[in-house]
Amino acid sequence: MGGLWPSLVRTEYLSGLRDCLKTTRRLDEPMTESIVLFGPPGAGKGTQAGRIVELTGKPQVSTGDMLRAAVKLGSPMGMAAKEFMDAGLLVPDEVIIGLIQERLQEDDAKQGVLFDGFPRTIPQAESLDKIATVSSVISIEVPDDAIVERIVGRRMDPETGDIYHVTFKPAPAEISDRLIQRPDDTEETVRSRLEAYHEQTAPLADWYSERGLLIRIDGNASINQVGDSVEAAVSRIL
């Protein structure tokens, strides 16, 4: 019986997709200009995303947030996504694109959005290109060894959830003995994530570069220096 789940779930998804497409934007309607932000784990995307939002007024959009919101709201695409999630399956690109279509119709997205961490592959970028106009792609680039140093050195206080770093943000001496390293912060895990990121993103960066949209930012600097570079890039976009 378990082997039937994927086909049953896909049937449910296709039904939800057809219902959703009746209400989503026509692809020949005017499209807003959006920005894509990507970079490896530990590159500081979260900090710089906040800065871009402040500079542009464009809302930050991540697929994880969209999935949770759509499921909670009970939208057609949210219900389609829930079928896959409940079955322990990856949510297909078609559903993610449908969620993005829904998101782009909200009032705060009329002037475009900041896509954080999406697209990650060329097929995703090609699908996104059909429903949104991407005016620029900001890539925060940091050498792998620097990323490893940033992440592997992290320590968490299990009592407060506060994050420290053995080099960049040492914890107070009185709590240092109780700090732990999270499983995702080991060197083996970090390098595995970086390998997967490069396999996906290197072709995508080339794809956007060929279209004259890619802006490379040296992320191996202080937060303020990286922020200044991002601000300069955004000022050229606006």
Catalytic status, residue 193? yes
| Catalytic-labelled residue, pool 10, 25, 51, 120 | 120
Question: Strand pairing of 114-116 and 33-38?
Answer: parallel
| Catalytic-labelled residue, pool 18, 110, 178, 182 | 182
| Catalytic-labelled residue, pool 82, 150, 154, 155 | 154
| Catalytic-labelled residue, pool 45, 103, 150, 155 | 45
- Measured CA to CA, the distance from residue 137 to residue 55 in angstroms comes to 15
Give the other-Cβ count within 10 Å of 9's Cβ.
Answer: 20
| Catalytic-labelled residue, pool 10, 51, 191, 193 | 193
Q: List CB contacts of 231: < 8 A, sequence separation 6 or more.
A: 51, 55
Catalytic status, residue 154? yes
Catalytic status, residue 26? no
Neighbour-count burial for 220-236, b at 16+ CB within 10 Å, e otherwise? beeeeebbebbeebbee
User: At 212, phi and psi to the nearest 5?
Assistant: 70, 25
The answer to whether the beta carbons of residues 227 and 150 sit under 8 Å apart is no
> What is the set of active-site residues?
45, 120, 154, 182, 193
